[in-house]
Amino acid sequence: MALIVAGVLLAAVAAGYVLVRRGAVDPAPPRPSAPTTLSGGLWHVDERTGRVAVERGGGRTVTGVACERFAAAAGTAVCLRVENHGMPRLDAVILDRGLREVRRVPLAGPPSRARVSPGGRMAAWTVFVSGHDYASIDFSTRTSILDTRTGAYLPDLEKLNYPRELRARDLNVWGVTFAADENRFYATAATGGRTHLIEGDVARRTARPLRSNVECPSLSPDGRRIAFKKATGHVDRPWRVHVLDLRTMRETPLAEPESVDDQLAWLDDRTVAYERAGSVWSLPADGSGTPRRLIGGASSPQVLPPAEAGSPAGGG
């Protein structure tokens, strides 16, 4: 009976999540679906259709791939998908350069975050096991990493070897971003009402805290800075986006006055992008300038370079 009740609750959560996520509408109609490859352009999830799309030459091409969250780099993509056929099915789907499915892993709850390592080897995702956003008092997450080359799978990053201060029953981990070596990663770990930036090692199955009050990190292409959202303590604007210099540990608040609940992406070494209010915005990473609206009706933004084997992509 408990399993049946849990299944019904999961179905309700997943269905509600899809309805909320599909509220934004892009005022510019997309081009018809067309075959495409993972290269050259600003990739995102088109919020009107729920499908992966790419902006090239001022126009939007919508693919046939449906995702709630999407990330890609170097010819590998991860698509977090919710399929509603009676009982919802939630999966992390690994795609190749031609957006063809090569592997599927069941998810434990509604999608939240996704990332692919710069060389395309590692895929990571976070889902909500309870709650529906990071402002919920009772939210709980599960974060996984898959080695797409060997098939090695870490289903729950809470099971890594942590220092004593992070070994707690209420530990939550979310928002992975990978370094260029595709083994080292950063993420958020939370326990006792506090969040921490952690640095992890996939091969050694270890992680250590670096700094408090850092959520949803995104490593810059040069590997020197982390873009993240920082809790403000204000109910109306709970987060402020910042950039952290990993060498000096100096924080720079960015010139976005509104609260941003997203894992930022790096368009290049100087510019970050993020979703807010159903649109994708960009912002200088040095604290200067003002937010610039790039495209409407979109989420999960990232820039991929023109097709070339093994080329890394921005977005952490």
Per-residue pLDDT tens for 117-169?
Answer: 999 999 999 998 865 555 555 668 899 999 999 999 999 999 999 999 998 88
Does the residue 40 lie in any domain? yes
Phi and psi dihedrals of 94, rounded to 5? -90, 130
- Domain CATH number, residue 71: 2.120.10.30
Residue 13: is its pLDDT beyond 60?
no
User: Could you tell me what percent of the chain has a pLDDT over 90?
Assistant: 71
Does the residue 171 lie in any domain? yes
**Where does the pLDDT of residue 257 fall: very low under 50, low under 70, confident under 90, or very high at 90 and above?**
very high
Does the residue 251 lie in any domain? yes
Number of domains in the chain: 1
User: Could you tell me what percent of the chain has a pLDDT over 70?
Assistant: 82
Q: Provide the pLDDT for residue 307.
A: 65
Average pLDDT score over residue span 53-57:
91
Does the residue 63 lie in any domain? yes
**Where does the pLDDT of residue 84 fall: very low under 50, low under 70, confident under 90, or very high at 90 and above?**
confident
Q: Provide the pLDDT for residue 312.
A: 38
Does the residue 315 lie in any domain? no
**Where does the pLDDT of residue 58 fall: very low under 50, low under 70, confident under 90, or very high at 90 and above?**
confident
pLDDT tens, residue by residue, 290-313: 999 999 999 999 999 886 434 433
Q: Provide the pLDDT for residue 88.
A: 80
Q: Cα–Cα–Cα angle for 240, 290, 237, nearest 5°?
A: 25
Does the residue 256 lie in any domain? yes
Does the residue 184 lie in any domain? yes
Does the residue 88 lie in any domain? yes
Cβ-in-10-Å burial (0-12, 13-18, 19+) of 69 comes to: buried
Q: Provide the pLDDT for residue 17.
A: 38
What is the residue range of 85's domain?
2-304
Measured between alpha carbons, how far is 232 from 238 in angstroms, rounded to an integer?
Answer: 5
